[in-house]
Amino acid sequence: MIDTQDNKQTHLSKPQQQQLLSAETRIAPTWPLDQLIAVNPFWGMRDLPFDAVVNKMSALAQVRMLMPVAFYLEKWQQEAISEQALQQSAAHYAVERSTNALLNWLKKSHCGELPHWHTLADLLDRYRSEHKMPWQEEISHQISQFCAAHYQQVQPILKQTQGEDRLCLYRHWHETVSRDLGISIVMGESGLVDYFKALPTSPESLIALAVDTLGIGFNELSDYAHMLLLDINGWASWAAYERWQADLSQHPASDMRALLAIRMAWELVIWRYVSERHPTTFTRIQYHWNKQKLQLAEIVLEHKKALLPRLVFQRALELSYQATLVGQLKAQKVKSEGAREQATPTLQAAFCIDVRSEVIRRALEAQNAGIQTLGYAGFFGLPIDYHAINCRFSRPQLPGLLKAPITAIQTPAPQHLATKRQQAGRWHSWSHSAAASFSMVESMGMSYFYQLFSKVFSLQKTQHPVDSHIDSRKWQLKQGEHEVSILEQAKLAAGIVKGMGLTEFADTVLLVGHGAHTTNNLHEAGLQCGACGGQSGEVNVKVLAQLLNDQAVRAELIALGIAIPPQTRFVAALHNTTTETITPYGEIDTEITRWLKQASHLARVERAHTLAITGKELSVQQLEQQFIARTKDWSQVRPEWGLANNAAFVVAPRQVTQGVDLQGRVFLHEYSAAQDQDFSQLTAILTAPMLVTNWINMQYNASVTDTHKYGSGNKVLHNVVGGRIGVFEGNGGDLRIGLPMQSVHNGEKWMHTPQRLSVIVQAPTEALEQIMAAHPVVKQLVENEWLYLLSISPNCNEVRRFDNSKWELL
């Protein structure tokens, strides 16, 4: 007889609701493929120390936030870990051992599977016949396939009732699973569907009933809920994205709770079914279930003990890198900011802070001593959505952390062009939909052959039809239905100019956004500008160039204390990070054109070996063609390395890093404390760009340390879910999030070294402390060691690291 709800808890108390909310907010969002940005997957746990999260996540769900023992031994042998750094790290953890003893300690540390919390499905699979489908596999498959169908709205079984804004995920699932006789057949368990039919029809009632039936105490509820969400982490991350967007729009979203209810419903069904159909097995799993509920604290302590040697070596690796970088900066011997003033630059070029810009900036500066490059967030301070004219499409062009208050629209195109682009957009949508992809080619027949042939043999440049709308026409900025006034445009421009550190203006100032160009790459947005929401920065630099060239805006800027010389012209440009080409969107001097081409060549030569291209044996043109060919190759799974191997963020004048080979590992943001008396600019940097760099750093780290949970697997096996939601690896399993294996591994070795970001700021320690005190998120990241914060003196003679609530002189 199926258990009923009589005498069972049917509602959740407010404290229980808070426990569930705590678990739900631990899950970080994942953005859709067409807006893919890097995200710190542990963002929801930044209020806890990094080490504590390492231990807790390992105990809850076998999440790996550290590399294997062999990795650290190899780094030691390669001298990437210094003896001094190792001893410093050991002292930090109060471990008193000699260097040889530390190495032996690491070698003998526990490398096998540690005890961890198990779901009921895990426990039941211990007693499952090897000839039957494991419960865990079926749960993952059923929930994942259902979520894919639900979010794609493919003939939903349950229709929306009158007045509802959205289809309830849990109710839709319950209606679906209650009719699915196939689950009983697949599992070889007769009558299983009846247990699904008996479940409550609301998510709150289901969770309340499950908590009561399974005996989940108040103190275990948050951890248990978190464990279940980690079991379906991909879809939980998608629900977190929906919640994030809803919070930005101030509209509530409830899919996370519904998803938790779905996963918990499976636990409840297993409990009821096995207790009635397999009582002997139930007695066994009930014993292990009740035992583990009492042992979580002990399990976490066991993980802490086992992982401590690796934590010591992980920190030593990070300190070793810091010591090398700090040594390079000190060697610059910059005497003072006042002494660095030079004549008006011959050329100024502002780039994104992206680590890929470091290589091309260094190459461009090598062309002429009068060239000055600057680093600024890639959306160039413009909080805009791009709305393509004559169509309904719009997209954010700013960091995912923010909501755009301004819409950028180009003036209307001629009608024949608008019609052509609308048709191209509709064609693109139809031809890329799952339902139409085969029928489209079938129906078009030979007329589609030329397009396929052109793409395969690189005769035709692939471009999203919306991007074809972006041209040289004038831009309009709107807030709602109203145009942004000239004064407001000037205020926006003034903040950007000050943020970039522009003082002496060259005759030509390049505003260089960046984008990537690849073919047949579902994760292409992840190679675009993250600060532009996973898009090219073309729109942003074109809008900014228009603002700064506008004579009416310049007149208002004078009243705001910024006088741009009449001969100064701002030119938008785009750095193609895949080919290392810089394309200006305006007329420039032939000499500047030559500098750009030579800088591109130097950057290609430097990057060639990482892409297995023998650059030194090729001519300039041949090397360029090798890079271009990668953008058109449908089979190319590693067109470029994106932000792999990022390791530091330097917030200082360019003079601090100029001439130093930072190997494309460092984010560079222009900043002068002397021009920021109230430290408002520094506050903006540490509360926005620094957060973005943390997201990027931790995304790459997690995609290496735990490729199963936080990496999206093998690109070759990817299938798109919902057109844009994400990917499956193969045709099933959880929604895969994070970076593909080919984005961080070259087939022989890792191309990214997992290490926490080192943030080096040329600003007084007092200012940094004030910002931490005023902004909890910055304080959490620093004090809980999700990143390192270092202060470098104006003359670069002294560097201090914030450690254990005090500044330590290096």
Tokens of 96: 């008193």
Q: How far is it, in rounded angstroms, from Cα 479 to Cα 316?
A: 50
Distances (CA, A) of 378 to 354, 374, 443, 514: 8, 11, 42, 7
Amino acid at 426: R
Q: How far from chain centre, in Å, is Cα 71?
A: 24
pLDDT at residue 353 in the model = 98
Tokens 């690291």 belong to residue: 801
Contact 2, 193 (CB under 8 A): no
Which of these, 650, 679, 667, lies nearest to 767 by C-alpha position? 679
Q: How far from chain centre, in Å, is Cα 348?
A: 30
Burial category of 584 from C-beta neighbours within 10 Å (exposed 0-12, middle 13-18, buried 19 and up)? middle
Q: How far is it, in rounded angstroms, from Cα 31 to Cα 802?
A: 32
**pLDDT tens digit sequence for 500-519:** 999 899 999 999 999 999 99
- Residues in the chain predicted with pLDDT less than 50, given as ranges, are 154-164, 335-340, 421, 427-428, 430-441, 459
Where does 473-518 have alpha helices with state H? 486-500
Q: Which long-range contacts (CB under 8 A, 24 or more apart) does 392-396 make?
A: 393/425, 393/466, 395/34, 395/35, 395/466, 395/533, 395/535, 396/35, 396/532, 396/533, 396/535
Tokens of 82: 């210094």
Beta strands across the sheet bearing 406-410? 394-396, 384-387, 406-410, 475-479, 482-483
Q: Is 348 helix (H, G, I), strand (E, B) or coil?
A: strand
Tokens of 638: 């590693």
Contact 392, 414 (CB under 8 A): no
Tokens of 449: 């052959």
Contact 776, 640 (CB under 8 A): no
DSSP 485: P
Tokens of 137: 């596999």
Q: Is 689 helix (H, G, I), strand (E, B) or coil?
A: helix
- Measure CA of the first residue to CA of the last residue in the chain; give whole Å: 70
Amino acid at 323: A
Tokens of 654: 């360019």
- Hey, which bits of 85-240 come out as E strands? none
Contact 354, 123 (CB under 8 A): no
Amino acid at 661: D
Domain boundaries, the chain: 14-48+118-300, 51-115+302-325
pLDDT at residue 250 in the model = 80
Q: How far is it, in rounded angstroms, from Cα 78 to Cα 99?
A: 16
**pLDDT tens digit sequence for 707-718:** 999 999 999 999
Contact 19, 219 (CB under 8 A): no
Tokens of 331: 């060697």
pLDDT at residue 723 in the model = 83
Q: How far is it, in rounded angstroms, from Cα 309 to Cα 317?
A: 13
Distances (CA, A) of 115 to 55, 219, 304, 307, 716: 12, 20, 12, 13, 34
In this prediction the pTM is 0.93
Q: How far is it, in rounded angstroms, from Cα 695 to Cα 685?
A: 14
For the chain, how big is the Rg over CA atoms in Å? 28
Contact 650, 758 (CB under 8 A): no
Look at the chain and count its residues.
810
Q: How many CB atoms lie within 10 A of CB 619?
A: 9
